[in-house]
Structure 1
Amino acid sequence: MRFAWIDLREVPGRQLQAVLDAAVHARMGGVVAADAELLASLPPTVTRVLAPEGQGPADPKKPGDKAEKGTGAEEAKGTADAGPSSRSGSSPAATGIDVLLRRFGTEDELDALAAGNRAAGGTPAAGIIDVRDDRTLQLSCAGAMKLPYTVIHFADPTKIPLEIVLAAAESADGKLVTVVDDLEEAAIVFDVLERGSDGILYAPRSADEVFALARLLQATTPQLELSTLTVESIRHVGLGDRVCVDTCSHFEEDEGILVGSYSSGFVLCCSETHPLPYMPTRPFRVNAGALHSYTLGPENRTNYLSEVGSGSVLLAVGADGRTRRVVVGRAKLESRPLLEIRTHAEDGRLVSLTVQDDWHVRVLGPGGKVLNVTELRTGDELLGYLATDKRHVGLPIGEFCKEV
């Protein structure tokens, strides 16, 4: 599960208390500070990380600089063996410190940290390292394999080094924490290699940024309960505009997007993943429907197909109801003959879909069965989704609304 550590050391003084309160209220994964007494005052719902002065991310320097001097193996070992809990003779819980953050820049320093963690009774030590060249990159990979937490500050904006660490630490039990400069970078870091960093270390500028980060961490897509819809009529309605949605992702064979003429019900429209006799497959595309149609996106938000365009985010939906976010690369609107498909759910609710009147356009039935729209007959069964909310500008709203 993804998490965030809030770094209080770089938060402006006038914002410090508000950021701290927000971090606790939003249940951030951890708080990083140089003040042990401040950390001890926090509830155990957050991981309390003590980072003594000089143990944060270093300023980017050229390879070969002495940024990592002064944090030798002897200091790292002494801290790991004699952390706050050991010096006081009390347990980590009694001191209010859950993790001690220490910098490492050599194999000896890393080995000392790992050895200290194997010793009983001490506060667990996490390592922090600045990756600026191949040597420090390889050392960070080793840290990810040996330490409970490895915090990495990447000097360069490329995410290739992060990909390398993620691949190297695939089987590791420890957690990888990446230092980020803003929320946009946090979102990118969480998506690298589809797995992403386990956590991030971030110094927010305000309490609002803490809550925005909390929303980012909770940005999951729901499992939908799909319904079986029964076709009751099909008719040719003439020329109109339909929309093809080209995404930046490959669809699975049983995936598509939900489209409907009414906000109360949608049909699962199939992607062009399956072979067609007269053109190559386009597994990123859904021939979705007429431009007036609704399509379902994240956070229970709908959009008209006419509003969908480059950069829009929609839900890819599988025949078993699983969902995931897909980004739209482009939407293509063209005039074509249209076909209206009217269906009803088990409760009698009407679900309507208007699509291009062509054999190549497909919808999905129970079990992910692929159905050509021009071959549908009364009584055929389709997969769909029934929404309980009425809509205003795509948002759920509790008001009377009748669609015909």
Structure 2
Amino acid sequence: MKFGWIDLRGVPAEQHDAVVEAAIHAKLEGIVADDPGALAGLPPTVKRVLLPSQQLFPPAAAGAGEDVPAAPDVLLTRLTHSDDLDRLRLEVAGTDHEAAAFVDVVDDPTLKLACSAARELPYTVVQFQDPTKIPLEIVIAAADKTPGQLVCRADDLEEAGIILDVLEKGSEGVMFAPRDANEVFALAELLRVQTPELDLTTLTVRSIEHNGLGDRVCVDTSTHFAEDEGILVGSYAHGFILCVSETHPLPYMPTRPFRVNAGALHSYTLGLDNRTNYLSELRAGSPILAVGADGRTRRVVVGRIKLESRPLLTIKAVADDGTEVSLTVQDDWHVRVLGPGAAVLNVTELKQGDKLLGYVSTEKRHVGWPVKEYCVEK
């Protein structure tokens, strides 16, 4: 799971209270400060992260009778040279402190230091001087399959989103100084990068109807689909059929593993956050949901859509519980859907009784969002 740390050091003073309250409400993991007093009073649900302005290594224990704030959950030590990492290990050996580091990557030696820290320490926070994400890619690769948590500092929300997607997996955490509470909630949304698995169902074909000319949409994404992946499309907001990508060979054209010949322009596709979009609404940059035959999902981005007039046919199917599903697609042999076991089925060869993979939702929809209201689609 991805997590976020709110960096109070860069938050306007008049926004501190609102930002902290928003971070707690949004269930972000941690709050970072350079003053232990700023972390006092935080609930136990929030990790207290101390990043002192100057101190390099864990402080000595306070003397008897001294009034000191409670120890932070994570104490970040600034590392600037490779021998700092060795010294940090010695300093925390035999203490209750976990070794955690902050590395400002400005050149090749500090990049190597960040890689070493990320491989060895429970927490490593990195920030980068240059705008390229190549150094972050190197640190992520170096820390791959290690138990430590890598946190990357972001200058703004746009950079936070990019950081989370670097090398497809991104860093485990993002440290960000929001301008106000609204940006805290926006960061929380960005962190919800995992998409849920879907419980796909088997549909039984009832009929195939040839409709004549209409407009259909091809959805071209900015990623490769797997052979058992596609997108869920349907004429009704409560039921969808899994349309496979053009990953499989065709006799008269090259494969296009980024494309799904999805359906007529009125059709819904199931997207992120259980929201539907009309195919006609999609455009370059729209996020949609890629779905595998086993129900796994992932976020993909539309590169473009192609809307063209073609002969259409309508597939009508039913789920075991009696829910009716309908999908109108291009009336051509090369358009395909998936059946149980990821079987690739040409739509023009479908017949009554054939089995398809689909998804049934009990909710009705209003502007794409699920609502509890009376609604009939047929």
TM-score tier by shorter-chain length is over 0.9
- Which TM-score applies when normalising by structure 2? 0.95
CA distance in 2, matches of 1:3, 1:348: 41
Match of 1:28 in 2: 28
Q: Secondary structure at the match of 2:15?
A: helix
What is the letter of the counterpart of residue 282 of structure 1?
Answer: R
Residue matched to 1:111: 86
Once residues 180 and 159 of structure 2 are traced to their aligned partners in structure 1, the CA distance between those partners, rounded to angstroms, is 17
Cα distance, 1:400 vs structure 2: 1.4
Give the deviation of 1:36 after TM superposition.
1.4
User: CA 1:401–1:135 in 2, change beyond 3 Å: closer, same or farther?
Assistant: same
Residue 323 in structure 1 maps to residue 303 in structure 2:
no
Aligned pair partner of 1:343 in 314, 317, 323: 317
Q: In the alignment, which residue of structure 1 is the partner of 2:112?
A: 138
Deviation at residue 95 of structure 1 after TM alignment:
2.0
Shift of 1:199: 0.8
Note the 1:22-171 alignment, pairs <5 A: 22-54=22-54, 76=56, 79-80=57-58, 82-83=59-60, 86-88=61-63, 95-117=70-92, 119-171=93-145
8 Å contact 2:2–2:193 — kept in the other structure? no
| Equivalent residue, structure 2, for 1:68 | none
2:233 aligned to which of 256, 259, 263 = 259
| Deviating more after overlay: 229-238 vs 31-40 | 31-40
**Separation (CA, whole Å) in 2 of partners of 1:215 and 1:89:** 45
Q: Which amino acid aligns with 1:328?
A: V
SS in 1 for 2:257: strand
Residue of structure 1 equivalent to 2:374:
400
Task: Look up the equivalent residue of 2:284 and give its one-letter code.
Answer: S
Q: How many angstroms apart in 1 are the aligned matches of 2:157 and 2:252?
A: 45
Query: Structure 1 residue 89: deviation in Å?
Result: 7.1
Q: Which residue of 1 aligns with 2:19?
A: 19
In structure 2, what is the equivalent of residue 310 of structure 1? 284
Task: Name the SS of the counterpart of 2:351 in structure 1.
Answer: coil
Query: 2:349 — aligned with what?
Result: 375
Task: Name the aligned partner's letter for residue 86 of structure 2.
Answer: D
Determine which of 192, 197, 204 is the counterpart of 1:218.
Answer: 192
Letter of the structure 2 residue corresponding to residue 109 of structure 1: D
Tell me how large the CA RMSD over aligned residues is: 1.7
CA shift for structure 1 position 115:
2.0
Amino acid at match of 1:43: P
Q: What do the CA deviations read for 1:234-293 (whole angstroms, capped 9, x no partner)?
A: 121101111110001111111111111111111111111111111111111100011111
Q: Output the amino acid matched with 2:178.
A: P
**Which amino acid in the other structure matches residue 373 of structure 2?**
E
Change beyond 3 A, Cα 1:385–1:213: same
- Displacement, 1:88? 4.8
* Residue in structure 1 matched with residue 219 of structure 2 by the alignment: 245
C-alpha spacing 1:26/1:174, structure 2 compared with 1 (3 Å): same
Structure 1 unaligned spans of 5+: 55-74
CA distance in 1, matches of 2:193, 2:321: 32
Q: Which deviates more from structure 2 when the two are superposed, residues 143-152 or residues 196-205? A: 143-152
Q: Distance in 2 between matches of 1:43 and 1:124?
A: 21
Structure 1 residue aligned with 2:204, among 222, 227, 230?
A: 230
Residue identity (%): 64
Question: What is the alpha-carbon distance in structure 1 between the residues aligned to residue 268 and residue 16 of structure 2?
Answer: 44
Q: 1:50, 1:221 → 2: CA distance?
A: 32
The alpha carbon displacement at 1:219 in A equals 3.6
Q: What code does the residue aligned with 1:330 have?
A: R
Letter in 2 for 1:218: R
TM-score (norm 1): 0.89
Give the match for residue 278 of structure 1.
252
How far did residue 35 of structure 1 move?
Answer: 2.0
Gaps of 5+ in 2: none
In 2: Cα distance, 1:114 partner to 1:327 partner = 43
Structure 1 pair 385/88, CA: closer, same or farther in 2 (3 Å)?
farther
Higher mean C-alpha displacement, 18-27 vs 251-260: 18-27
Please give the per-residue CA displacement for 1:103-160, whole angstroms capped at 9, x wherever unaligned.
Answer: 111111121112223x122433421121122121111111112322111110111111
Give the whole-Å Cα distance in 1 for the aligned partners of 2:136 and 2:4.
17
Q: Check 1:297–1:88 CA distance in 2 against 1; reply closer, same or farther (3 A cut).
A: farther
Q: Residue 224 of structure 2 aligns to a residue in which SS?
A: coil
Distance in 2 (alpha carbons) for counterparts of 1:186 and 1:88? 41
CA distance in 1, matches of 2:77, 2:69: 20
Tell me, in whole angstroms, the C-alpha distance in 1 between the residues paired with 2:162 and 2:266. Answer: 33
Partner-residue secondary structure (3-state), 2:333: coil
Find the counterpart in structure 2 of residue 60 from structure 1. none
Q: 1:292 aligns with which of 266, 282, 287?
A: 266
